[in-house]
Structure 1
Amino acid sequence: MKKKILCSLMAVGLVMMSCKKELDIPNPNEASVEVYWTNADEAVKGVHAIYSTLHRGAISRWMPFYYIIRSDEGRSSSGDPNIINNMDQFLVTDYNYGNAYDIWRDNYVGIFRANQVIANVPGIDMDANLKQRLIGEAHFLRALFYYHLVTLWGNVPLMLEPSTPEDVPPTATQAEVWAQIQADLTEAVNSLPARYDNPSDLGRATKGAAYAMLAKALMQQRKYNEALTPLAWLVEGEGKSIYNLMPNYRDNFLVSTENNVESVFEWQFLMNPAENHDDDTDPRIDNLNTGTSIAQFFAPPGVGWSDGEARRWLVDEFLEEETTSGGRDPRLAASLLFNYTDERGPQNTMIYGESFAQRYGADNERVWFRKFLNDHWKNQEGYSSPNNWRYIRYADVLLMYAESLNATGQTAQAYQYVDRVRQRAGLAPLTDVMPGLNQQSFLTQLKHERVTELTGEGHRWNDLARWGDLGPQLVQRDPAFSNFVVGKHELLPIPTQEIDINPNLIQNEGWR
């Protein structure tokens, strides 16, 4: 049922060095950095180690909270109001709070692993094409990890060589971090294949993934004209014959239809073997590091922890338009679980084998994000979800292209790409229902289109930041934004422990 996953066989000790040299006691049974990088097999395993960073709990579980729940799309109903809710409410007082700090650390783990490959693989005597591809994958993944860091913390240290415990890198500016992301992705574009022929390579970064990430990086800096080039490759160039929209929107979120034609870059997850545990609901299985537990934390009560929920305004957004046949936008039921996921109401809306009315009562108005969940094949969630995170879909690329065209004064040309996304959902083309929009009006409509197409997929926070929409004006949709301070809460505070051990780091503005 599941794909083959890219996993690492490298010892943790190879990629994490934290003790002073004089205190190290060599383990004669463990490979060391000095003797490891000698052949192609070790190079491949080194790259697998970078990919495996995406399975770490902080990245695959907690990072979605900071991109989804912290935005106006979501809310937290965690049982501990002093922890996750503080993040949601912009009332962070503990700069070293573990879930946030672990996101910081795990992204730097990935960067360290990428740096190992970039530094050591060039010296290995091996097939030149494979070598180039592996180095390209490392550059792509390093850019991905820095993309997370710059959009969450902004001003972060740039580490481009394998680190040592003595390193005290300075804070880099956001412009410097973005420049490095662009350089890494440009290297990846030039090194990665457009496709992989071997099924065992499923899930690896491709040229299209690198182009899409490069476009995201440029757009986040509002470099829309520059973003047109990578987007054109995806939409009008070679990528046009590789990617397309799936006929059925819901197929983008089912375990049975992963890595489909709409997937530009997809994080691969695999259900962990239960070993001696009764089932995958045992939290200890989270340590096996091949699945993700985000479904356990996003799923409704009774089948998950419901630490992250959706806000009700999203439902109304989907109901603004009917399909051309007079029906409801099918993306609503694919995106959200609520009392009317089934149009016939709470008695017919099934929540993991029971009706909504049975579980929560007919009038309960709570809403949950559905896309990460496994309700299509399980009656409960657990700590080992095999459901891939569709990190970049082609629909996102089409909307990005439309946004960039509109931003560069080509609004008339932008319509066709929004139309493709709308028509897949059964809606009338925007060309017919809203012809002749000016640049600002088109952007306003595009904001709606990105909600209905991409809600709950982790893009909302960066969308709001790019548009300059983060602020107290969002309070009508999300009351937590009454606490939002412009110039402060766009970024998270640098962990104090990092500043304590590195005098060259500077705390973000507003958090000092």
Structure 2
Amino acid sequence: MNCYLNYTRTAALLLLTVLMVPSCKKFLEEDLKSQVSVGNFYKTEADAIAAVNAVYAYLNSTSTGSTAGVYHSSFWVTAGLASDEMLNNQLGTPDLDQLSSFTNGPQNKTLLEIWQMNYKTITVANIAIERIPLINMDPTLRTRLVNEAKFLRGLMYFNLVRLFGDVPLLTKEVETLKPSRTAAATVYDQVIADLSAAEALPLSYPAGNGKGRATSGAAKAILAKVYLTRKVYDKAAAKALEVINSKQYQLWDDYADVFKLSSRNGKEAIFSVGFGDGGGAISFWEVGQFNVRLLPAALSEEGVENAQGWQIPTLNLYSTYDIDDRRRSVTFVTEIHNKNSTTSQIRPYIQKYWDRVAEPKANGSANDFPVIRYADVLLIYAEASSEQNDPGTAAQYINMVRKRARFNGTVYLNTVPDYGNLSKEAFRTAVLKERRMEFVAEGQRWFDLARTGTLETLVPLAKPGVTPKAKNYLFPIPQQERDINENLTQNLDF
């Protein structure tokens, strides 16, 4: 579900004049003669819609400066580098090198960007949640908009609490300037409360009117992941099953179809963030970010422009796949066909976000970032079922994902066989491996290794000489934030 929400002049002005955030080119082209203020905003139904649209806007790129949106790159790049998934190949980026080698400290600028963008989104959400109920407007729409803002606030706090542990919990428009950290358990309570409220959102929206908006299914799916992270397996299974039983989502038969531009907002997308194409909708400056960061520059011979191959998969990841696993050929590129029709072999790079047919020149990709898709829900349900001593159900649902991996676009091959009724311990290993192969470069891997306590054992297999420590199950609180706010304590050993 793509972030192609109608972004009116009022919403642009909200960002420019109320929040004082640097704007992208699209915003600068707006007529600023009738600038609004906090005092005369939040008066009409249009103001309420614009306010919530502004929260969504922070999920993508929000400026042409150094600060980007929540899911622009720092989030998913960090989750890939600080794991057994990716290596940094971008010259002159010591902060990313540190994440990949687990030598990062509180001065890391990438972690600072993650912290700041999540909290900026929370700030805008808090304003919307507090002010929209005071607007005289259609009550059904008013409730829906508040619940959308709560969904987004809950999602941001879920990001923060997993990454940093105890974090300041801010839920009001006006808060203390120097808040202390709140216990992670209390932050999780707020995440659950926000997402539970968002369960009242619509199952879907009319065609062409709601792309990118949160739905009831998105709230339930993220809730299932919250409960899985908290090891509350009965609730994780229950929420995942509600999503499954809603009949709103399906797997694409072919894994290659998941990342085609024609599949945006399609049947497997539960909640995604668009970086997309304009046409009167939200259009941001850094389209094609996935391809720039992941595809090798050598592919320029095929007509690709600006690809850099900044983050590359570990060879250990590539070797995990069966040779005929459909996900391997879709996820990675290992050869280049140049203009002279000769072929050169290269080390694996990640190509899954490049739809070669729709966008031969990958620098302009309008693909989405998948925050959560239906395959994730199936694997959550499988994992939670296994933890509740139901190996039959666990096998049934993990095998739905594995069956698709056997499909080569035409027929099902004799590869990626079904699992039988595995022991609980064997299933833990199996589902963690399945998630690794299914969600490459989707911002999942560090979170999976952290919640399963496997950082120290699995990372060294992919990165010889790199061994995470106990402290690496959280990231340090950014020092710049602590310099401003002396009430912020630091995580252990940083």
TM-score scaled to structure 1, two decimals? 0.83
The Cα offsets for residues 316-369 of structure 1, whole Å up to 9 and x where unpaired, read as 22117xxxxxxx111111111224xxxxxxxxx558x787x75xx43x4x2222
Residue aligning to 1:53: 58
The Cα offsets for residues 264-292 of structure 1, whole Å up to 9 and x where unpaired, read as 1111221369xxxxxxxxxxxx9944735
Unaligned runs of 5+ in 2: 22-31, 62-67, 299-305, 407-411
Distance, in Å, in 1 between the alignment partners of 2:360 and 2:340 is 9
Does the CA-based 8 Å contact 1:75-1:309 persist in structure 2? yes
Residue aligning to 1:293: 289
2:445 matches 1:445: no
Does the CA-based 8 Å contact 2:181-2:488 persist in structure 1? yes
Distance, in Å, in 2 between the alignment partners of 1:255 and 1:492 is 34
Q: How does 1:5-404 map onto structure 2 within 5 Å?
A: 5-7=5-7, 8-16=11-19, 29-56=34-61, 57-59=68-70, 60-80=72-92, 82-93=94-105, 95-163=106-174, 167-190=177-200, 192-235=201-244, 237=245, 239=246, 241-271=247-277, 288-289=284-285, 291=287, 293-302=289-298, 303-319=306-322, 328-339=324-335, 350=337, 361-362=344-345, 364=346, 366-382=347-363, 385-404=365-384
Q: Which amino acid aligns with 1:175?
A: A
The Cα offsets for residues 205-237 of structure 1, whole Å up to 9 and x where unpaired, read as 1000000001111111111112122111012x3
Distance, in Å, in 1 between the alignment partners of 2:401 and 2:283 is 39
Residue aligning to 1:506: 489
* Alignment CA distance shift 1:288-1:387 (3 Å): closer
Unaligned runs of 5+ in 1: 19-26, 274-285, 321-327, 340-348
Does the CA-based 8 Å contact 1:218-1:224 persist in structure 2? yes
The Cα offsets for residues 117-152 of structure 1, whole Å up to 9 and x where unpaired, read as 100000111111111110110000001111211122
Q: Which amino acid aligns with 1:36?
A: F
* Alignment CA distance shift 1:179-1:350 (3 Å): farther
Residue aligning to 1:346: none
The equivalent position to 1:466 in structure 2, one of 440, 446, 451, is 451
The Cα offsets for residues 379-427 of structure 1, whole Å up to 9 and x where unpaired, read as 5443x53111122111111011000000111112221111211222227
2:469 matches 1:485: yes
Corresponding residue pairs, total: 459
Q: Which amino acid aligns with 1:503?
A: E
Does the CA-based 8 Å contact 2:73-2:289 persist in structure 1? yes
* Alignment CA distance shift 1:480-1:260 (3 Å): farther
* Alignment CA distance shift 1:229-1:434 (3 Å): closer
Distance, in Å, in 2 between the alignment partners of 1:122 and 1:294 is 38
User: Secondary structure of the equivalent of 2:271?
Assistant: strand
TM-score scaled to structure 2, two decimals? 0.86
Distance, in Å, in 2 between the alignment partners of 1:179 and 1:424 is 36
Does the CA-based 8 Å contact 2:395-2:421 persist in structure 1? no
Query: Which stretch of the first structure deviates more once superposed, 104-113 or 439-448?
Result: 439-448
* Alignment CA distance shift 1:434-1:52 (3 Å): closer
Distance, in Å, in 2 between the alignment partners of 1:413 and 1:102 is 41
User: Secondary structure of the equivalent of 1:505?
Assistant: coil
* Alignment CA distance shift 1:379-1:369 (3 Å): same
> How far did 1:504 drift?
1.6
* Alignment CA distance shift 1:398-1:410 (3 Å): same
* Alignment CA distance shift 1:480-1:371 (3 Å): farther
Does the CA-based 8 Å contact 1:252-1:390 persist in structure 2? no
Query: Which stretch of the first structure deviates more once superposed, 57-66 or 287-296?
Result: 287-296
Distance, in Å, in 1 between the alignment partners of 2:5 and 2:289 is 17
* Alignment CA distance shift 1:3-1:433 (3 Å): closer
Does the CA-based 8 Å contact 1:140-1:185 persist in structure 2? yes
Q: Which amino acid aligns with 2:272?
A: E
Does the CA-based 8 Å contact 1:309-1:367 persist in structure 2? yes
Q: Which amino acid aligns with 2:198?
A: A
User: Which runs of at least 4 in structure 1 moved beyond 6 Å after TM superposition?
Assistant: 427-432
User: Secondary structure of the equivalent of 2:389?
Assistant: coil
User: Secondary structure of the equivalent of 2:312?
Assistant: strand
Distance, in Å, in 1 between the alignment partners of 2:119 and 2:18 is 11
Percent identical residues: 29
Q: Which amino acid aligns with 2:488?
A: L
Does the CA-based 8 Å contact 1:143-1:180 persist in structure 2? yes
Does the CA-based 8 Å contact 2:5-2:53 persist in structure 1? no
The Cα offsets for residues 403-457 of structure 1, whole Å up to 9 and x where unpaired, read as 0000111112221111211222227899975423211112222222222222222
Does the CA-based 8 Å contact 2:13-2:35 persist in structure 1? no
Residue aligning to 2:24: none
Residue aligning to 1:414: 394
Q: Which amino acid aligns with 2:268?
A: E
Distance, in Å, in 1 between the alignment partners of 2:141 and 2:288 is 29
Query: Which stretch of the first structure deviates more once superposed, 369-378 or 152-161?
Result: 369-378
Distance, in Å, in 1 between the alignment partners of 2:116 and 2:419 is 46
* Alignment CA distance shift 1:506-1:316 (3 Å): same
